[in-house]
Amino acid sequence: MAADEVSVNLGDATPRRLLVDWANGQDAWVRQLTAETILSRQEPSEAMLDAVYATFLAEKGLADEGAPDVPKLELTVADSAEEETLELVSLTSIEGVNALAADQELTFDPALTVLFGQNGSGKTGYSRILKRISAVRTAEDILPNAHVVHQDGPPSPRANIAYRLSGTESSTQWQNETGIAPFTRISVFDASAVALHVDNELGYVYTPAELALFGHVAAGIQGIQQRITAEAKTLTPGSNPLLSRFTRGTKVYPVIETLGATTDTAELDALATLPDNAEAERERLEGEIGALRSNSVDALLSNAQENARHLTRLQSILTSLLSFKMDTYEAARTGLQTAEKQRAEAREQLFNPDELPGPANEDWQDFIVAGDTYRRHLGLEHYPSTGDSCLYCMQELSPTALNLLTRYRTFLDETLVRQVEEAKTALDRSKLSFEEAELARAIEFATEQRDREAPPAWASQTSDVLLTARTAAEATANGKPVTQVTLQEDAQAVASAVSEELTTVRAAIQKLSEDKDDAANALAEKQKELLELVARIELNRNLTAAREHVRRARRAQQLEKLSRVISNGAAKQLTVQSKLASEDLVNKNFEGLFIDECSRLRAPQVALRFQGRSGQAQRKKAVADYKPSAVLSEGEQKVLALADFLAESRMRGTKAPLVFDDPVTSLDYRRLDDVAARIQNLAETHQVIVLTHNIMFASALISARQNKRQRTKLYEVRDGGEVKGVLAPDVEPRLDTPADLAKRINVKLQEIPKAEPAVQDALIKETYDLIRAWCEAFVEQELLQNVTQRYRKNIMMTRLSKIDSSRLDAAIAVIGPLFNRACDRLSAHSHAAEHMNTKPTVAELQEDWAKAQAARTAYNTK
């Protein structure tokens, strides 16, 4: 249905009016979403959201087609669709629920059903099923019978639920699901609900249709944002697929590296524009680069540098040779010979050969020098003197030893020794010496140059000079005279030639180095030029993909921005409108209902506070600044929680059942009557189900109903030993008078003879159920004149005088045995073994009924 079909103005402000006014101030897609939601009265479907999203994209210029025309919304006065009425009919075929008996049938009254039984009888099992299917806040997991060992695992909880929805009968097979439509409308109050309804900050279980529209529209907006997020995610790749095709360092690379929503597509187009001869230019550059890489300058430069190193070594050796002074060497050699001769003569004069330990040679001299060094180390400046000891054996020196050591010192102290040492030093300095390895390399180089096909002019003579120099150096090393008298002149002759050659080679190296640098620069320029061209060619090939990448990134960025705009705009404004609507429709309505319920139940006064979060209406109660549970008694908390629960339940209208599981624990008798009266009142507009173990409460419920001559379905829930929850249906005596029950029994007696045998057995049992109820009604209403009544807490003493005691015995003699026989026929009662397979006949039934009628007639005849 189109948005413009929502028409007719509303006079006063309502939640729907707030919603429409808000939508008319939004974009077209929001108006479309709101219109469709108002018409459908439910959360938008996926198909609807797809259509709205298409409108959103078109409106934002993100689609090829133009945006549709969505007019302003005009709201109709049409009321919300009436909610269907839910009524529980029966609960049967129960399996796997605690220890509940599987053959029980729980039939619900359209108004009030009461399940009464002691603690542990099985009432809670039935309550848990109802809580589970309705998904109330306090629903628990359902466990199997804890006292039974299941070989193949415990059975899954299940039951058959018959119900009536707006008058249409239906049923469903429950298999432990939580929250099954339409049972989610059921409200359940139990002990666990007390704390929730007293202290917790609660939202509303039921949201009125008017207010639910806000939630539906909000869900639709979230659906659009989810679509935005999903599309943006698909548009955003994990990595740039084009980057690996380009080389770092080119002008194209940083553009591709940062390719995204901010990329300038004009710059992309410019970089991808190629000259007409791009491929030919690429081939030319590749050829030039290949030629530059194969250039022989490197080899020439390396060879020249090697020659320069050899010539430098050769020049160094020739320089050393030229600096050798042959006359100085000869003078030093002669000076050493003279000093040694003078020292020998002095030794002969000081020492008698017999006084020396051996020949007066160098070893001896080294020995006495070592001794004198030790003396100086000990600091004995005046050693030896009379009385001194030997420095080695520590014995006192004899006059002979003292005389000898004195002459040793005289010998060592004389200048002749120093003169010898100085002469040696002078000779060493004047020697011709070369590093053998360097000299060998120089000789090898000179020989190689000499042996070339076109040897340089200096090579042959240089080789000879170097060999001569080696001989001269060996002579000076041994202190022998140098016989190569022309050595230095020959060296001078080749030194100039070698120097000129070295200068020429160094100049060549400089030129080759410059050529190499020029070639390297040219190669780098050509390579850069080629890389740039190749990158542009590659970009030209991938320009469509690059532009698509930019388009997708821009679209993703725009979508994300629009999503933020929605969150900060339409969604936030909708929350504000929802709060206004919830305060007006929900909170005010709830507050009035809550005050009314507190008054009915005489609940303590508390402050009711409302607060909204994320557009959700919530309520909270307080006593001064404290939680109610910190101040109120347990009973006061109970009725306060019940008032909160009932106020919330009444917001649903009269559409679904209310379930009360032991609602009066902790209550005194006065509040017990208040709660009973309130529940009875609710049963006039709701289907009410009460589970209780309190006989006074059950009595009060029935009494309140009877005062208005209204029916109550009562079950006694019994503990069957191994199984629980055995249901004993009872019939309310005040509503079912003996006359009324007699009519129903007579109808059954007319049907039984016409039925098939199997059906007859069932009808006979049903008839005995009615006879049992008739017995109770006859005794209570006519024999005892309603002095005492079942489940009543008071005895009516004013009616005691109406009992005809003279006829009681006769009536009792008939009614007592008849009641026992009726009980034996009930399937819900236990039977003795001998009666298990004994079936009453039609004749027996007719006879029992005739006796009963006769007894009643006899008692009532005056």
How confident is the model over 311-317, as a mean pLDDT?
89
Whether 516 has a pLDDT exceeding 80, the answer reads yes
Closest CA to 644 of 53, 14, 201: 201
The answer to whether 426 touches 418, Cβ cutoff 8 Å, is: no
Model confidence over 226-279: pLDDT tens digits?
999 998 888 887 788 888 898 888 999 999 888 888 889 999 999 989 988 888
Model confidence over 401-445: pLDDT tens digits?
787 777 777 666 655 677 778 888 888 888 888 888 888 898 888
% of the chain residues with pLDDT over 70: 84
- How far from chain centre, in Å, is Cα 526? 53
Mean pLDDT across the chain, nearest whole number? Answer: 80
What's the confidence (pLDDT) of residue 541? 92
Query: Hey, CA dihedral for 173, 175, 176, 181, is it positive or negative?
Result: negative
Helix (H, G, I), strand (E, B) or coil at 510: helix
The answer to whether 530 touches 189, Cβ cutoff 8 Å, is: no
The answer to whether 207 touches 586, Cβ cutoff 8 Å, is: yes
The answer to whether 96 touches 173, Cβ cutoff 8 Å, is: no
Q: 154-158, 164-168, 405-409, 555-559 — which is least confidently predicted?
A: 405-409
What's the confidence (pLDDT) of residue 312? 92
Q: What are phi and psi of 658, to 5 degrees?
A: -115, 130
Model confidence over 570-603: pLDDT tens digits?
888 888 877 777 666 666 677 777 788 888 888 7
What's the confidence (pLDDT) of residue 40? 78
Model confidence over 435-484: pLDDT tens digits?
888 888 988 888 888 888 888 888 888 888 888 888 888 888 888 888 87
What's the confidence (pLDDT) of residue 78? 41
Q: Say how far apart CA 786 and CA 771 lie, in whole Å.
A: 19
The answer to whether 235 touches 553, Cβ cutoff 8 Å, is: yes
What's the confidence (pLDDT) of residue 107? 92
Whether 88 has a pLDDT exceeding 90, the answer reads yes
The answer to whether 490 touches 286, Cβ cutoff 8 Å, is: no
Q: Say how far apart CA 636 and CA 674 lie, in whole Å.
A: 13
**pLDDT grade for 832, boundaries at 50, 70 and 90:** very low
- Cα–Cα distances (Å) from 630 to 621, 636, 666, in that order, read 12, 11, 16
Q: Say how far apart CA 789 and CA 792 lie, in whole Å.
A: 6
What's the confidence (pLDDT) of residue 390? 83
What's the confidence (pLDDT) of residue 862? 63
Q: Say how far apart CA 485 and CA 478 lie, in whole Å.
A: 18
Q: What is the DSSP string of 593-606?
A: HHHHHHHHHTPPP-
The answer to whether the bond into 384 is cis (omega within 30° of 0) is yes
Q: What is the DSSP string of 411-453?
A: HHHSHHHHHHHHHHHHHHHHS----HHHHHHHHHHHHHHHTSS
Whether 336 has a pLDDT exceeding 70, the answer reads yes
Model confidence over 92-142: pLDDT tens digits?
999 888 878 888 899 999 989 998 888 888 888 888 888 888 877 667 778
**pLDDT grade for 5, boundaries at 50, 70 and 90:** very low
CA dihedral 20, 22, 23, 27 (to 10 degrees): 160
Both structure tokens of 388: 């001194």
Residue 844, burial from CB neighbour count under 10 angstroms (0-12, 13-18, 19+): middle
Whether 835 has a pLDDT exceeding 50, the answer reads no
The answer to whether 716 touches 694, Cβ cutoff 8 Å, is: no
Both structure tokens of 161: 């639920």
Closest CA to 848 of 816, 805, 826: 816
Whether 617 has a pLDDT exceeding 60, the answer reads no
Residue with tokens 């939630």: 215
Q: Say how far apart CA 313 and CA 351 lie, in whole Å.
A: 53
Amino acid at position 204, single letter: Y
- CB-based contacts of 495: which residues, under 8 Å, 6+ apart? 315, 318, 319, 322
The answer to whether 692 touches 712, Cβ cutoff 8 Å, is: no
Helix (H, G, I), strand (E, B) or coil at 726: strand
- CB-based contacts of 617: which residues, under 8 Å, 6+ apart? 203, 204, 211, 579, 582, 583, 586, 587, 610
Helix (H, G, I), strand (E, B) or coil at 163: strand
**pLDDT grade for 171, boundaries at 50, 70 and 90:** very high
CA dihedral 356, 359, 362, 366 (to 10 degrees): -30
* Neighbour tally for 17: CB within 10 Å: 16
% of the chain residues with pLDDT over 90: 9
State the SS3 of 511-559. Answer: HHHHHHHHHHHHHHHHHHHHHHHHHHHHHHHCHHHHHHHHHHHHHHHHH
Model confidence over 651-667: pLDDT tens digits?
665 578 989 888 888 77
What's the confidence (pLDDT) of residue 356? 62
According to DSSP, the residues that pair with 724 across neighbouring strands are 100
What's the confidence (pLDDT) of residue 623? 58
